[in-house]
Structure formats: structure tokens, C-alpha cells
Amino acid sequence: MNIDTVVGLGREAVEVALLLAGPLLLVGLVVGVVVSLLQALTQVQEMTLTFVPKLLAMCLVMVAMMPWMAQVMIDYTTRLYTSMPELVHG
């Protein structure tokens, strides 16, 4: 196994991680900005008010996207395991 193979495997792992985490982080960002704007407009500065809506929204998105996320992880793991012989001997 040469350095290009290792870098390629690491790059693919980071891509899959970003692909899986991206939608959740985007929802957390959008909900956080909306709640912050509402807090600024109403001048209510409660810390739990920002945490709870983000947590609920991210949980809902994760439950809704779980089949897709599982399929992405299964595909990545399958590709990794099927390429194992050529990684070891190639």
C-alpha cells in the first residue's frame, strides 16, 4: 500500500463523513440563526431557547434521513471491504 492509496482512503472517509454530517449541521445552523433573530427582535436572552429547537430540528432531520444515511454508510463499507484484497496485495 503506497501513500497515494492511504491519502485516497482518507479523503474518501472525510467525504463520507461530511456528506453524512452536512445536512444535520446545515439544519442546526439555519435553526440557530432563526432563533437568534427572534431573540434579538424580542430581546429574550435565554440560553436554553437556542439549544432546544436546534436539538429537536436536528433529531427530526436525522430520523427522516436515517435510511439514506445508512445506505451511504453501507455503500462506503462495502466498497472498502471489497477493495481490501487489492489494498493488501496491490
Single pTM value for the model: 0.79
- Give the 3-state secondary structure of residue 90: coil
Residue 90 belongs to some domain of the structure: no
Residue 53 and residue 31 in contact, taking contact as beta carbons nearer than 8 Å: yes
The domain containing residue 52 runs over which residues?
A: 3-81
The pLDDT assigned to 58 comes to 95
Residue 7 belongs to some domain of the structure: yes
The domain tally of the chain equals 1
Residue 65 belongs to some domain of the structure: yes
Residue 43 belongs to some domain of the structure: yes
In whole angstroms, how far apart are CA 72 and each of 15, 39, 43, 78?
A: 11, 37, 42, 10
Residue 88 belongs to some domain of the structure: no
Residue 86 belongs to some domain of the structure: no
pLDDT tens string 35-57: 989 988 988 887 778 889 999 99
